[in-house]
Amino acid sequence: KNEVEQSPQNLTAQEGEFITINCSYSVGISALHWLQQHPGGGIVSLFMLSSGKKKHGRLIATINIQEKHSSLHITASHPRDSAVYICAVSSYGQNFVFGPGTRLSVLP
């Protein structure tokens, strides 16, 4: 069993839709990270969280430590949100273990 799993693997949405990407993990962590990889390949860190919820613009990330689960939400999705979203976890004394990524396509 992979340490970090994501669902769905692929997601196609219409512009304006509310999007949710899920991440579950099986190890103890100190923090969970959401990364965005654009079609050109560049990787950007979106959120780092260890509890609760964080919001940045149209993006919201939540984490439930007891259930070992995190969600990334995108409100009012836009074609420019099309990218691969990667969940990664870090543990004390270790570093990132990555999920397989969720490929999001937002159609105009």
Which residues in this chain contact other proteins in the complex, by CB under 8 A? 30-31, 33, 41-45, 48, 86, 88, 90, 92, 94-101
Among residues 17 and 31, whose Cβ is nearest to other proteins? 31
Among residues 19 and 88, whose Cβ is nearest to other proteins? 88
Q: What is the CA radius of gyration of the chain?
A: 13
Q: Which residues pair with 79 in a beta bridge?
A: none
Shortest Å, Cβ 45 to other proteins: 4
Q: What is the largest CA-CA distance in the chain?
A: 44
Shortest Å, Cβ 93 to other proteins: 8
β-strands 83-90, 31-37 pairing: antiparallel
